[in-house]
Chains A and B, each alone.
Chain A
Amino acid sequence: MRYDTIIIGGGLAGLVSGIELARSGSRVAIISSGKSALHFCSGSFEFWSEGMAAVGSIAEHNPDHPYSKIDPKKIARYTEQTKDIFARAGMPLVGSAEANHLRLTPLGALKPAWLTMDEYVTFEAVGVSEYRSVVIVAIEGYLDFYPEFIAKGLEQMGLECHIREISLAEFNRLRQSATEMRAVNLSRTLKGSPLREFAQRVKALVEDEDLVLLPAIFGLGEERGLQIVEEIVGRKVKVAATVSASASGVRMQKRLTDAFQSLGGVFIGGDRVVGCTIDESRIVSLNTANHEEEEFVAENYILATGSFFGRGIVATPEEVYEPILGLDVVPQMARKEWYADDILDAQPFQKFGVATDSELHPMIDGRVVENLYAVGSILSGADAVKEGCGAGVVIATALMVAENILAYKHK
């Protein structure tokens, strides 16, 4: 099977680069094992938590960071490109390349964000709110949304918070199994008349609040779920993130996969690369677990398999390695140096990943693999958690590599 580009990994990095390449007419395949961090998405993407203004000087202080390989002048364009990809996939985003906004976390913290799904409540800055008072609607027996915690965050913004609870007969079926009251299942239930009944109940408990805040449990049962609720309630309705698998994240994964396929991309799910032929410094072909007898051949290959969580890199007691191609992983240090005592502090292991040159070509024993690119959280040098750059690194490197591949092709 011949393609222009084969992408290993079907998470956010693989899908974004795949969509950009497919849209320009390339023949692209994505090989995905099916596991993606997107399933736990908070509804927001972060680029740099210290602020967008600081992005230009990252290379100076932090030469090993993936951002040091990205032209800061391109970030405004990448931002627009991202909004465009998501809008076409049916999930408009708000946010800009100039300044971060604030998102509300499930525990009530306010954290800087770059882009957020427009269904979610966001604020321009601390103390700047277009709302005066809010009713936070909890669902009886649903444990993954904490109105009390969320109210703490909103009170910081000067909002008057009221907490009210509703229940719905349709949810009782979910309750028969003790693990079913989860965002994804609630979201699948909320369609047709139960969705409208739900909206009526919400409407009944709104008083003079100017914002209705619901858990993020819409969009899987009925694509326009939240808009329908808003129309019936007749008040501004927004959602806040839940814990556990996220309905928005599952929806995002699905809509982006659909978008990729509708552009002619080939999505090979539930498969993984098990073998690879390398000639000199180029990949010749790949083999997968489910297609043993077939060879996957392409001009270019993109590795978007993620960090430890995505199994893009693997740790043993002695070392950290890249399991598919045996790429160089940095930094290598004694195990006791991998960790910090407080799990909430910066953990050195978060920066582990493959070493790359300025165009994001990884290496084997110091030698560049010319037709291979690494994108997303498999790249070394970024601490997605403490720097607040997880999605930023993923999206910016995915767009940059897609752009470079297309530029070479046109040459």
Chain B
Amino acid sequence: MPLLLVVVAVGGIFLVTEVLPWTLSRQTAVKRNGKYDVIIIGGGATGAGTARDCALRGLSVLLVERKDFATGATGRNHGLLHSGARYAVTDRESAAECIGENRILRTIARHCVEPTDGLFISLPEDDLGYQTTFVEACHRAGILAEAISPEEARRLEPSVNPALVGAVRVPDAAIDPFRLVSANVLDARLHGAEVLTYHEVVDFIRTGNCIEGVVLRDASSGELKRVEAKVTVNAGGIWGHLLARKAGVEVGMIPAKGSLLVFGHRVNQMVINRCRKPADADILVPGDTICLIGTTSDRIPFEDIDKNEVLSTEVDVLLREGAKLAPSLATTRILRAYSGVRPLVAADDDPTGRSVSRGIVCLDHAERDGLEGFVTITGGKLMTYRLMAEMATDLICRKLGRTAFCTTATTPLPGSKSESKRESRRGRREFISMRAGEKGAEGRHGDRVEKISFDKPTDAALVCECEQVSVAEIKYAIESLDATTLVDLKRRTRLGMGTCQGHICAVRAAGLLGRASGDSEGALSDVASFVNERWRGVCPIAWGDSLVEAQFTQWFYEGVCGLGEIVDKKDREEMI
């Protein structure tokens, strides 16, 4: 249900309740007169990063998200840590931002980044002359770009199209957006921020020309809550357009949909791009056990931003173009298809005209529209989230008259603070003796794996065999990472993201979730929602082995288990 569109009349109908989110807080910044310094709307990378930056600077923070973290564009892209090379020719400023952030994230978010490097390849039909322009532009933006021979490219990346006529090596990398957001939220909370997921902003509290907070609806109880803050930040991605409108200002965003395909195994070890002007399906990124091809790019109406539909015509383009980068994609199993919506910001709707050229848009609505206490941070990319957060937090501090400086460029995220066990044990016997689930957890949580207990043998048992997710990791995600549903658990741990796309693991995890919450009925209805979330991604590509799995999934959940009888059809329609 598009909860964002629901308008609730302001007046006496609000149930005014004390908001008491559960927090890990150690050094809670003092909330004065029940008012936060800042409320941040949106649990994507930008919102989570802003919450962290604000918390590190000593502000009292509330982060609110209508669903779970990373459910919008943050979790629906390539997971590419751009070197900036892609923008070097067309947008030098973005390129420079990218390479700067690229270097920072490799250090502060080490456990979320896999330093793969990337290739920009020229195929016989491409203009090889563009390569020279490209390399020069990269150098001007400060990006290390080295033209290499086709032989060298084939040696470095055996999956690359052998017909290539040229290649440039750049410092691209892979980044896991779910881990990144999770670590930012965790650090924000460790520094006193409070967090509410599944809480949607249904209205703003407004006095005269000032936004003084928000009215939230708790998705599980339907209850309305008022929370006040000196500054409210709109970090809602494409939904930020509607939020701004609700607050009474216009931020002219244009929804741009991009679709991607996930393949069942990792065909390439380096990121492979086409060395030409950016176009459809010209980036292939490896990540964990899989690889991703994307994206298409289409403007869609606002009515469709929650649909996340992938059309068969898009699947066809992705497959056709993808096979040009790495021919073996044509015969590799496709696991699923998904799409996300990026907020493009229209220049003519921004009267200041300053921010647009940079891609990142940071608006003080007091200055721009005469609306006090309201800030919008949008545009940009996943990989410039930290810079966007810094810009937003600088603005918030200015508005609050605070002088604290940004430290996020040098302060590692939780998980990247120390050398991990895996790094220190590499090649040694202790590494080999680590349990499968512990290795998996370490890859995902970095040094935070110390907080996950594998002492009891029952905790080491695997819930998800494809992705090596153990009982211990599921418990940790429930207890420490705000996971309340199976789909949340998927985003925290990769549960059900592997080749089987969530068969038995959903039931196993539901058993653990039901035990933790004491609500086994809720856990079962959650299984239906999880299985259908997986099916949405499989449906556009359900042929071959994927249809074999789909038939088994339906036969198991509906036939063997009778899930459809347990979970009411009406509830399921709401899920879909």
Contact B544 A338 (CB under 8 A): no
Chain A: CB-nearest residue to B556: A40
Contact B435 A178 (CB under 8 A): yes
Within 8 A of A (CB), among B417-472: 435-437, 457-458, 460-463, 465, 468, 470-471
User: Which of B532, B548, B563 is in CB contact (< 8 Å) with A109?
Assistant: B563
Contact A141 B437 (CB under 8 A): no
Q: Is the interface of A mostly helix, strand, loop or mixed?
A: loop
Contact B551 A109 (CB under 8 A): no
How many Å from the CB of B395 to the closest CB on chain A? 43
Contact A335 B462 (CB under 8 A): no
CB-defined interface of B558-576 with A at 8 Å, one 1/0 digit per residue? 1111111111000011001
Within 8 A of B (CB), among A298-321: 307-309, 311, 314-317
Chain A: CB-nearest residue to B575: A342
Contact B547 A315 (CB under 8 A): yes
How many Å from the CB of A136 to the closest CB on chain B? 13
A386: B residues at CB distance < 8 A: 558
B312 at the interface (CB under 8 A from A): yes
B560: A residues at CB distance < 8 A: 40, 42, 105-106, 241, 243
How many Å from the CB of A382 to the closest CB on chain B? 12
Within 8 A of B (CB), among A105-122: 105-111
Chain A: CB-nearest residue to B564: A344
How many Å from the CB of A257 to the closest CB on chain B? 22
Contact B552 A335 (CB under 8 A): no
Contact B561 A143 (CB under 8 A): no
How many Å from the CB of A108 to the closest CB on chain B? 7
Question: Which residue of B521, B555, B561, B562 has the most chain A CB atoms within 10 A of its CB atom?
Answer: B562
- Give chain A's interface residue range (CB within 8 Å of chain B): 35 or more
A367 at the interface (CB under 8 A from B): no
B531 at the interface (CB under 8 A from A): yes
Chain B: CB-nearest residue to A314: B544
How far is B11's CA from A170's CA once the two chains are assembled, in angstroms? Answer: 65
Stretch from B33-41, B286-294, B298-306, B504-512 contacting the other chain: B504-512
Contact B463 A106 (CB under 8 A): no
A72 at the interface (CB under 8 A from B): no
Contact A343 B511 (CB under 8 A): no
A110: B residues at CB distance < 8 A: 562
Task: Give the 6 A-B CB pairs with smallest separation, nearest first.
Answer: A109-B562, A141-B458, A343-B535, A344-B564, A315-B543, A148-B520
List 25 A-B pairs, Cβ < 8 Å. Answer: A107-B524, A107-B562, A108-B524, A109-B566, A141-B471, A143-B512, A144-B504, A148-B511, A175-B461, A179-B462, A241-B560, A243-B508, A307-B551, A311-B548, A314-B544, A315-B543, A335-B543, A342-B532, A343-B535, A344-B558, A344-B563, A345-B564, A349-B547, A349-B550, A390-B555
- Residues on B facing A (Cβ under 8 Å): 312, 435-437, 457-458, 460-463, 465, 468, 470-471, 504, 507-508, 510-512, 514-515, 520-521, 524, 527-528, 531-532, 534-535, 539, 542-544, 547-548, 550-567, 572-573, 576
Extra inter-chain contacts (9) besides given A105-B560, A343-B532, CB under 8 Å: A107-B566, A148-B520, A178-B460, A315-B543, A335-B312, A335-B543, A342-B572, A388-B559, A390-B559
